[in-house]
C-alpha cells in the first residue's frame, strides 16, 4: 500500500484530488466560487496558498503550511453550546481572526472546550473539513448521496525550488493540458490571472512572482512549456 505523505508545518505541498470515479465536482460558476469560499474559511487560517486551479472533475493547490500557529479561544465559558461556539482567535504572526466552525463535529467529542487552547491545528483535518463541507453542499444542490472526492486526498511534498516552480507552471497550465484552452490567461478558475493582477488577494502573489524573478519571466516560463512532454515527467494527475 502506498504510504500517505504526512503534512508538516512550514513545508510546501502540492495538494490535489478528483471526484470519485472521476465524477464532476463543479457544474456552475456558483460551485467554483463556493469551493473557493470554503477554501478561504478552512485553509487560509492554517496555510498560505500560492497557486490553484479548479477543473471540472479535479483540482490542484500549492500551499505552504503555516508554522507556530495554535488554537487560542477568546471565550472558554463552558456554559456556551460548543456547536454554536464559532468565532475564535488564532495566535500567529501576525495575529488574525478566523472562523473555527470546522471544528464543530470535533467538539462533540471534547468534554472541556478549553482543552483546545494551546494545541496546534491538524492540517490534514482542515483539508478534510473543506472537502466534507463542499461535498455536503454539492450533494444537497444536485440531489446526490455518498462520497464526492477520492480518499485519501493526494499530496506531494515540494522539496526544491525547481520542483516548486514546475508545480506552479503545471497548476496554471492544467487547463491547456486537458484541452480546455490554448493559453492559461483564458481560463477563469485558476490563480494565473490573479498572479498578474494588482487587485487585492489572499494569494501570496509577491513571493510567487519573486520565485520567477519578475512578471515577464513568470509569463515566459508558462508559455515555453511542452504540456505533453515537459510537464508529464513531473506529475501524474
- In this predicted structure, what is the pLDDT of residue 114? 59
Please check whether residue 235 lies inside any domain of the structure: no
pLDDT tier, 122 (very low <50, low <70, confident <90, very high otherwise): confident
173-203 pLDDT, tens per residue?
A: 999 999 999 999 999 999 999 999 999 999 9
DSSP-assigned beta bridge partners for residue 15? 61, 155
**pLDDT for 117 beyond 50:** yes
In a domain, 234, yes or no: no
- Tally of domains within the chain: 2
pLDDT of residue 163: 94
Contact present, 235 and 16 (Cβ < 8 Å):
no
What radius of gyration, in Å, describes the C-alpha atoms of the chain? 19
CATH number at residue 144: 3.30.70.1290
The x, y and z cell numbers of residue 27, run together, are: 457544474
Q: What is the dihedral of CA 11, 206, 225, 193, to 10 degrees?
A: 120
Helix (H) or strand (E) holding 40: helix 29-42
pLDDT in tens, 155-174: 999 999 999 999 999 999 99
Same domain, 147 and 214: yes
Q: What is the pLDDT of residue 38?
A: 94
Classify residue 107: in a domain, yes or no.
Answer: yes
Of 188, 198, 214, 226, nearest in space to 28 by CA: 188
If one counts every other C-beta atom within 10 angstroms of the C-beta of residue 183, the result is 12
Q: Is residue 194 part of a domain?
A: yes
Q: Do 199 and 103 sit in the same domain of this protein? A: no
Is residue 231 one of the residues assigned to a domain? no
- Do the domain assignments include residue 229? no
Of 51, 84, 119, the domain-final residue: 119
**179: region left, alpha or beta (phi > 0 left; psi from -120 to 50 alpha):** left
Length of the chain: 237
> What cell does 34 get?
463556493
Which residue range(s) make up the domain with 156? 12-66+128-223
DSSP code of 146?
S
Q: pLDDT tens-digit profile of 40-94?
A: 988 998 999 999 999 999 999 999 999 888 776 655 444 433 322 333 434 433 3
pLDDT at 234: 45
Q: Are residues 194 and 78 in the same domain?
A: no
**pLDDT recorded at residue 73:** 61
The strands making up 96-99's β-sheet, listed across from edge to edge, are 70-72, 87-91, 96-99
Does 141 lie in the same domain as 55?
A: yes
The C-alpha cell 490554448 sits at: 182
Residues 181, 70: Cα–Cα separation, whole Å = 42
Assigned C-alpha cell, 175? 487547463
Q: Say whether both 100 and 215 belong to one domain.
A: no
| Phi, then psi, of 101 in degrees rounded to 5 | -65, -10
Pick the residue with more confidence: 206 or 111?
206
Residue 20 has pLDDT above 80, yes or no: yes
Residues 160 and 214 in one domain: yes
Which among 120, 160, 123 has a CA at the least distance from the CA of 15? 123
Amino acid at each position: 500500500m502506498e504510504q500517505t505523505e504526512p503534512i508538516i508545518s512550514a513545508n510546501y505541498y502540492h495538494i490535489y484530488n478528483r471526484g470519485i470515479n472521476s465524477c464532476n465536482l463543479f457544474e456552475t460558476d456558483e460551485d467554483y466560487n463556493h469551493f473557493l469560499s470554503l477554501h478561504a474559511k478552512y485553509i487560509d487560517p492554517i496555510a498560505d496558498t500560492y497557486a490553484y486551479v479548479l477543473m471540472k472533475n479535479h483540482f490542484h493547490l500549492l500551499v505552504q503550511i503555516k508554522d507556530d500557529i495554535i488554537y487560542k479561544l477568546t471565550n472558554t465559558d463552558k456554559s456556551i453550546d460548543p456547536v454554536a461556539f464559532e468565532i475564535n482567535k488564532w495566535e500567529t504572526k501576525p495575529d488574525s481572526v478566523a472562523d473555527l466552525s470546522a471544528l464543530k463535529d470535533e467538539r462533540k467529542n471534547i468534554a472541556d472546550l478549553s482543552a483546545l487552547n494551546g494545541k496546534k491545528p491538524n492540517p490534514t483535518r482542515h483539508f478534510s473539513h473543506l472537502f466534507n463541507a463542499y461535498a455536503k453542499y454539492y450533494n444537497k444542490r444536485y440531489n446526490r448521496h455518498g462520497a464526492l472526492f477520492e480518499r485519501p486526498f493526494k499530496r506531494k511534498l515540494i522539496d526544491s525550488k525547481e520542483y516548486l516552480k514546475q508545480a506552479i507552471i503545471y497548476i496554471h497550465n492544467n487547463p491547456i493540458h486537458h484541452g480546455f484552452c490554448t493559453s492559461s490567461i483564458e481560463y477563469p478558475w485558476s490563480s494565473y490571472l490573479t498572479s498578474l493582477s494588482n487587485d487585492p488577494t489572499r494569494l501570496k502573489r509577491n513571493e510567487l512572482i519573486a520565485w520567477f524573478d519578475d512578471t515577464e519571466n513568470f509569463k515566459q516560463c508558462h508559455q515555453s512549456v511542452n504540456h505533453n512532454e515537459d510537464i508529464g515527467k513531473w506529475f501524474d494527475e
